[in-house]
Amino acid sequence: MTTVENSAHDGGAAHRLAVLGAGVMGVGITTLALARGIPVILVDVDGAKLDEARARISQELRMARLMGVLPPDGAVGELVTATALDAVAGATAVIEAVTEARDLKAEVLAGVSAVVRPGTPLVSNTSSIPIDELAGFVPRPAELIGTHFMNPPYLIRTVEVIRGARTGEATMAGVRSLLDALGRKGVVVRDAPGFVTSRLLHPMINDAAKVVQAGTATAEAVDALMQDCLGHATGPLRTADLIGLDNLVDSLWVLHERTGDEGARPCDLLLEMVRAGDHGRKSGRGFYEYEEVRP
């Protein structure tokens, strides 16, 4: 177990957050919490990935402060990194942010539920998997709830909150308190595959990729038209690069399998790009190319 950064200030004193998974979303959520003075335990089985995460978190904290989207003068929270779930025993809430695969999420959630105190909110930051489906794998289903933070979490202030059929009132209250401490607005929706944001956005991105695949327009043209004519903030294909094309494909398969919607079947272009390792911004290449940013 490794500790870095400074101690938390009073704004985060009521919370000690555990984040499971040091990928793009785990790093982003950790960055947001630390900047709000909330101590975080970041867990990943890959120690090298945790080393990379520390550098990325420092970089994102600097970027967020330069953009003026986080408190400029507060002390950051304490960051502890660990490779074992036992480290989260004292957490007041747990956010799971591992790969969008049901069996992996179920395994992690079941494991952490055996470590934390009863009554601790267990939050799955899933983009598409129904919360009640995951609740079948934990011993206390009332403690499980879903959130869908958008990337980057320090920039986007609204969070989709998914209440499962068995999510309890105490868990709802705990998540509201955590979101308040994070300076985020939660919008509560009912449980369903893809919820609201992914159910609408991800098939639309798939359609945009089909337009490029057919040769009708370039990615740049698609995004320019969607931005300038239809008011999409970044364009669907830049958004896809930000999500991560591998994550997008995983989410589309979840939607396709659980809804039968053929519009959610990942198109050939997306599948080819993922196979080639072109996963978007995080890999340096997706629909666009990105210069490597060093911390």
Q: Using one digit for the tens of pLDDT, what is the confidence trace for 266-285?
A: 999 999 999 999 999 999 99
pLDDT score at 16: 96
pTM attached to this predicted model = 0.89
Reply yes or no on whether 148 is catalytic: yes
Q: Using one digit for the tens of pLDDT, what is the confidence trace for 152-188?
A: 999 999 999 999 999 999 999 999 999 999 999 999 9
Q: Using one digit for the tens of pLDDT, what is the confidence trace for 39-54?
A: 999 999 999 999 999 9
For residue 294, pLDDT beyond 60 = no
pLDDT score at 292: 61
pLDDT score at 66: 84
Q: H or E stretch including 261?
A: none
DSSP state of 285: B
pLDDT score at 9: 39
- Structural domains present in the chain: 2-190 (3.40.50.720), 199-283 (1.10.1040.10)
Q: At what angle do helices 245-259 and 236-243 cross, to 10 degrees?
A: 100
Alpha-carbon span 117 to 202, nearest angstrom: 36
- Catalytic residue (one of 9, 15, 148, 256): 148
| Cα 51 versus chain centre, distance | 19
pLDDT score at 55: 94
**Lowest-pLDDT range, 61-65, 153-157, 160-164, 198-202?**
61-65
Alpha-carbon span 159 to 149, nearest angstrom: 5
For residue 191, pLDDT beyond 70 = yes
| Cα 154 versus chain centre, distance | 11
pLDDT band at 14 (very low <50, low <70, confident <90, very high): confident
* Mean pLDDT of the chain, nearest integer: 92
Percent of the chain with pLDDT over 70: 93
